[in-house]
Structure 1
Amino acid sequence: MNNQADLALLFPGSGAQYKGMMRSLYESSRRVQDTLHEADDILGFELSRLMMEGSTVKLNRIGHMLPAICAASVAHYRLYREQGGPLPAYMAGHSLGEYSALICSGALSFRDGLMLVRFRARLAEEVMEATGGAMSIMKSVDPAQVALLCLKLQAEGREVSIACQNSRSQIAVSGQDAALAELEQRVTEASDYAQISHLIGSAPYHCALMQPRAAEMTEELLKYNWSLPACQLLSNVTGRPYTSIQEMQGLLAQQLYKPVLWQNSIMYLLENGVQTFIEMGPQNILKTLMPEISEQTRVYAHDEKVDRMTIRDHIAASSATPVHRHKAETSPPAADLRLKAISMCLTHAMTTRNNNQAGVPDMPSLELYTQVKRMKHELDQGEIALGAEHVALAISMLQAVFEDKRTPDSERELRWLQIKEKTGVERQAEITAIARREPE
C-alpha cells in the first residue's frame, strides 16, 4: 500500500446496492454493527435489517437505496480505519457517494450527512413522480455524439442530457421518459456496439428537471454544521477539490442538476500523483469502471474479500517496525516537517476561496505568494538551507492571503489547525521566534 500522498478513496453512488449487502461484514465486525445500528437510530427505522434481509424491490426504492449505500460506505470506511488504513490524500464520491465522502472526510457528521441524503432522496422522488423523469446507462458509446443527439432533442422541446461522464465510453443520461426512449433509439441506430440499460424506477438526477428544487437543497444544506475536510475532497460539479465550506454548500446544490464529471475527477487525481484507489462501499462498480479511464492504476474494492485481505496485508507490511530501527527514524526530521508546513501554506493560499468582492486584479499578497513559491523551489533543489525565517515568510504570506481574500475567521482557524496537526508548526510561535533573532 502506498503512503497517503499516493492514495485516494472512492465512494459509489446509486446502483451499488444489492440484496443481502453488508451481511458478512455485519456478522464479523462490531464496528460495522455499531455503524449500521447508528444509521437505524438516525433514520428512525431498521435500515440495517432492510439491507441484509429485505427484498430487492424494497431496497431499490430511492428512499431506502440511497441511505443504505451511504451507511454501508461509512461502515466500510470505519472498518478500514480501525484496521490501520491510512487517511488518504484525496476522497471522491460518485453522485450520492459525494455525501459518503463528506461524512468520512469529517466535513459532515454521520447524522447530518444521512439526513441530507434522505432529504435529497425525497426531492428526487417528488421530481420523478411529477415529471416522469428517469436515467439510463450507455456503454461503448461516443459521449460527444450522444451530447449532439441530446442537443437535437432539446431543440425539439425534449428534456434529456448527459448526467454523468463516467469514462471515455460510458455515460449516464437523464431526462423525461419519452425523451430518454427517443435518445436510446437514436443511439442504437447510430452504433452497432452501444449497450443501453434503462434504470427502472431511477430519478432524473443531474439534469434540468431537478433544477427547480435546487433552492430547497440550498436551504437544507445551510441547516447543518460543516467543517473543512481532513483531506482533499473533490466536487462532482468541477472535478476539482473544494476550497471552502461555502463552496461545498453551493456546489452540492448545483450537483442536483449539473452533470457528474467523474472522468475529470479521476484524471485530476492521476495528474496529482495518486497511484492507488480503494472503493469504499458495496460492490465494485467504480473499480470496474477504472480501466476505461486509465489502466496504469491499482484499484481495490473493499467489499471484495480478496481485495480486503490484500489491503490488510499491505497495511500490516507498511506498519511493521524493523528490529534494529533507530529511534531517530521513527518520525520525520523537524526540517522535513517545516518544509511540509511551507508546502501547506502554499496549498492553502491557492485553494482558499476569494471573498473579496472589490474586484482587485492584483492583490498585495500575490507578490508574497510568488516569492514563497520561488523560495520553496530553491529549498527543494538544495540551493538554500532551510531556516526558521523561511517558515515565517510562508506563514506571513498565508496571513496576507487570508486578509486579501477576506477569509472568515472560522475558516482561517481551521486551516491553521490543519497545518499545526500535520507539521507541528504554529504560526505565531514561528513568527515570534524569527523576530527575536532579528538585530535591533
Structure 2
Amino acid sequence: MNKIAFLFPGQGSQYTGMGKSLCDAHSIARETFEEANDTLGFDLQKLCFEGDSEELAKTENTQPAILTLSVAQFRVYKQELCIEPHYCAGHSLGELSALTCAGAIEFSDAVKIVRQRGRFMQKAVPIGIGAMAAVTGISRREVEEECGLNSDESRVVVIANYNSPEQIVISGHKEAVNLAADNLKAKGAKIIPLKVSAPFHSPLMNPAAEEMREELKKYKFVELKYPVISNVSARPYVSKESIPENLKSQIISPVRWQESMEFLQRCGVEVVVEMGPKTVLKNLAKRNTPDILAYAYDNNEDVSSLTDKLKPRNCDSKDSRLKLIVRCLAIAVCTKNKNWDNDKYVAGVVEPYRRVQELLAELEGNNMEPSLEQLTEALRMLKTVFITKKTDIKEQEERFKQIFDETGLGHLFRDADFQ
C-alpha cells in the first residue's frame, strides 16, 4: 500500500465556479456546502458557483470558501476510495482544512474560525500599507539578506513562504517590499507582485494573531486521527493542546512548505493528493519532491488516474452498514407524503418502518453487524415507503444514490432495483 498524504491549499486558489461539478455529482458535497451556508448565515455555495470574483476574493469569503471545498472533496474521496491518509498538510489557511479533515476541529467550527481569521487579517493592516511578492531565480540566503537590509524600526520585510527551492514569497510594508524586490531583481531574480489584500505571514499581522488567540478560546479541539504538519515547525502536531498556539503563530510566521514536503518524503510518502481548488500544491510538489506522485482532486483526469492507482476497495464495515439502516429510516420519515389513504399508509409506511426500527435497536443493543439480508430489508422498506407515499421515480433514484454515496455500499446492490 502506498503511503498517502493530503495537501490543502491556501488563499489565491479560489475561482468562480469552484465546487459546482463536484456538488452536481455527489450529494455529500452538496450537503457540505449547505452546512457551511447554514453556519455562516449566507449563501456561500452561490458565491462559489456564480458569485462575483472580487467578492469571492475578499479574504473573509475566500477562507471559508476554500476550506468548504477542501472538506467536500475530502468527504467525496473517503466515500469513493475509502483509503485513509498517512499525513495531512495545509498551506497557510490550508492548515485549518487539514486539521478539520483530521478530525481535530468540527467542520461547522472551522468555517466560523476561518471567517473570523479572514476578518482579523484584513483589518490588521489598512489597505495600501502592506505588500507581498513572489521571488524566483535567486538563493534563499540572498533573499534573507536583502530582507534584513531593508528592515528597520519603521518598516519591515520578511520571508512569508518558503514554497520551493525556486520560489520564495516576501511580505511586509509596501515600501520595504518594493525596495527588496528592486534590489533582488537587479541581482537577477524574477519578481511577481502578488494581488493580496494584506501582508500575510509578517509581523504586521500581530494584531490578527492576538485576535485569533482569543477567538480560538471559544472552541473545543480533539485529538487528530492523522498526523498534520505544522506550517510553523514543518513537523507534525504533538497533540490537540498545541493547536491554538500553532494557529496563532502561523499568522505571523513563514510557511515552511518546502521543508514540510521534504519531511513527508523522508517519512516514506509516495503519493500526495491536493484537496481544494486548482493545482497549486500539486505543482509545488513536483518541484519539491519530484519522486512523489502528485494529484489534484479538482482535476477530473487526476481523479481518474488516482482511482486507477489506488485500486479502490469497498467501504464495507459494521459502521457503514448500520449507517445505511439509519439513513433509510431517516429518509423514510422526511419524504413528503402524497397518499391520504390511511389503511395503505399504515400497511406501506408505519408497519415496515416499525419493523426496521426494531431491527436497528436489536443490532445496536447486541453490538451486531447487519447482514446483507437485513440491509436489503431496510432498503426494501424505503422502497415500499416511496411507493406508498407516491414519491416520483427521480427523487427515489436520487435518495438511493445518496444513501450509497454516504455509506459506500452501492457495490453490494449493483444487481438490485435500488439504483
- Name the TM tier (shorter chain): 0.7 to 0.9
153-162 vs 243-252, greater mean Cα deviation: 153-162
- Residue in structure 2 matched with residue 319 of structure 1 by the alignment: 313
How far 1:320 sits from its partner (Å)? 7.6
Residue 80 (structure 1) aligns with: 77
Per the alignment, residue 43 of structure 1 pairs with 40
Q: In the alignment, is residue 23 of structure 1 matched against residue 3 of structure 2?
A: no
In structure 2, relative to structure 1, the CA distance for the partners of 1:53 and 1:95 (3 Å cut) is same
Q: Which residue of 1 aligns with 2:138?
A: 141
- What does the per-residue CA deviation read over 1:332-352, in whole Å, with 9 as the maximum and x for residues that have no partner? xxxxxxxxxxxxxxxxxxxxx
Letter in 2 for 1:305: N
1:20-62 CA-to-partner distances (Å, cap 9, x unmatched) read: 1112112222111111111111111111101110121111111
Which range moved further: 17-26 or 128-137?
128-137
Question: Which of 284, 292, 309 does residue 289 from structure 1 map onto?
Answer: 284
Q: What does residue 248 of structure 1 align with?
A: 243
C-alpha separation in 1, matches of 2:270 and 2:10: 22
Distance 2:285 2:208 in 1: 32
CA shift for structure 1 position 141 = 2.8
Q: Does 1:232 align with 2:227?
A: yes
Contact kept, 8 Å, 1:127 with 1:133, in 2: the verdict is no
Work out the CA distance in 2 between the residues paired with 1:214 and 1:280: 26
Matched, 1:95 2:95: no
Q: Which amino acid aligns with 1:295?
A: P
Aligned to 2:186: 189
State the SS of the aligned residue for 2:151: helix
- Superposed, 1:3-402 pairs within 5 Å as 3=2, 6-129=3-126, 132-155=129-152, 157-191=154-188, 194-315=189-310, 317-319=311-313
Contact 1:11 1:279 in 2 (8 A): yes
| TM-score normalised according to structure 1 size | 0.69
- Contact 2:104–2:221 (CA<8 Å) still a contact in 1? yes
- Whole-Å separation in 2 of the counterparts to 1:101 and 1:282: 14
Deviations 1:243-285 (CA, angstroms, capped at 9, x unpaired) = 1122121111111101111111111111111111000111000
Q: Cα RMSD over matched residues?
A: 1.7
Residue by residue, what CA displacement relative to the aligned partner does 1:1-22 show, whole Å, maximum 9, x if unpaired? x44xx11000000111012111
Gaps of at least 5 residues in structure 2 are 316-419
* Structure 1 residue ranges without an equivalent (≥5): 322-440
Equivalent pairs, count? 315
Secondary structure of the structure 1 residue equivalent to 2:45: helix
AA aligned to 2:13 is A
d(CA) in 1 for partners of 2:21, 2:213: 38
Deviations 1:187-207 (A, max 9, x none): 11111xx33222223321211
Task: Give the structure-2-normalised TM-score.
Answer: 0.72
Partner deviation per Cα, 1:134-184 (whole Å, 9 max, x = no partner): 322223332221110000001474211000111111111111112212122
Query: Structure 1 residues 200, 233: CA separation in 2 closer, same or farther (over 3 Å shift)?
Result: same
Q: Given that residues 224 and 240 in structure 2 are in contact (C-alpha distance below 8 angstroms), is that contact kept between their aligned partners in structure 1?
A: no
Q: Give, in whole Å, the separation in 2 of the partners of 1:131 and 1:253.
A: 24
Q: CA deviation at 1:130?
A: 6.7
Compared CA separation, residues 320 and 87, structure 1 to 2 (3 A): closer
8 Å CA contact retained: 2:81, 2:312: no
